Amino acid sequence: MPATNTQRTEINNHFFRSNSATKPTVWAVALHSGDPGVEGDQNELSGNGYARVNVAPSDTNWSAHVDGLFSNAREISFFGAIGSDWAPATHFSIWDSTSGGSARYYGALDSSVTITVGQAAVFAVGDLTVQI
């Protein structure tokens, strides 16, 4: 999963220019029904009980990187759909806020996931991989 343009700019400004970056206090995982695009903000699911899941920045929630890749170090669960099923999720993104904010990373799921009424979407440890 690549970094969004927003994340690339922040990394560039922090390490190569005079700006400094502030570590986010929230990493919120979102699901998308199609490619989220280079800004990570397209095709996010909505309605029927959908909400991003907060997976705070910590050593217990995210693995150390190996060869530029890191992943979720704990299970991530989305509550089940309410009223009607969600559109099939094909992609995910990681945001710096549970509502609004900026997407920082995005990528495709290994396989499409449809969350039905009352069914939770669960991503096991290592299912969501991020490339630095």
3-state DSSP assignment of residue 3: strand
Specify the pTM: 0.90
pLDDT of residue 104: 92
What CA–CA distance (Å, rounded) separates 91 from 106?
7
- DSSP string over 101-123: S-EEEEEEEEEEE-PPBTPPEEE
Count of domains observed in the chain: 1
What CA–CA distance (Å, rounded) separates 1 from 30?
13
3-state DSSP assignment of residue 69: strand
Band of pLDDT at residue 7, cut at 50, 70 and 90: confident
User: Domain range holding 11?
Assistant: 5-131
